[in-house]
């Protein structure tokens, strides 16, 4: 079972990748960066839901609803805020320490909006 609790330790990029990849991932990787950042580079298979939208009351994309969420941004600050907000709304969420900067530094794949090699803006 994959339960997150309020105040839980943050995930490393290694743990985040393990929990959100494979044929049957146990969680959805939710990228809360803004659209230009997403377009420049994101993880393959991630779901996009900008923090600004979540703060304004937007609902999660259908593919993320009712699933455990691993929340990521560029450096880990926005994702920490988003995970707290989502937990307050009843979601099962935790954020990734170091965000996409740490993801890319670990050598994990980053793609742009066309599926080509992306960059972290």
1, two tokens? 């079972």
3-state secondary structure of 111: strand
Edge-to-edge strand order for the sheet containing 28-31?
47-48, 28-31, 69-72, 93-95
Residues written for the chain: 121
The one catalytic residue among 27, 60, 71, 73: 73
**CA distances to 21, 26, 69, 102 from 16, in Å:** 8, 10, 10, 11
44, two tokens? 């393959």
For residue 73, indicate whether it is catalytic.
yes
| Rg of the chain in Å (alpha carbons) | 13
Active site residues: 73
């Amino acid at each position: 079972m994959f339960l997150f609790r309020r105040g839980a330790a943050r995930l490393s990029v290694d743990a985040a990748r393990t929990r959100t990849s494979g044929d049957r991932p146990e969680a959805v990787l939710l990228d809360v960066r803004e659209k230009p950042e997403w377009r420049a580079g994101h993880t393959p298979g991630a779901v996009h839901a900008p923090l600004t939208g979540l703060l304004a009351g937007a609902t999660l994309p259908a593919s993320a609803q009712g699933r455990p969420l691993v929340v990521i941004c560029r450096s880990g600050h926005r994702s920490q805020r988003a995970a707290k907000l989502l937990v307050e709304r009843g979601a099962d969420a935790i954020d990734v320490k170091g965000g996409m900067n740490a993801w890319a530094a670990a050598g994990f794949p980053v793609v742009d909006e066309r599926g080509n090699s992306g960059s972290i803006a």
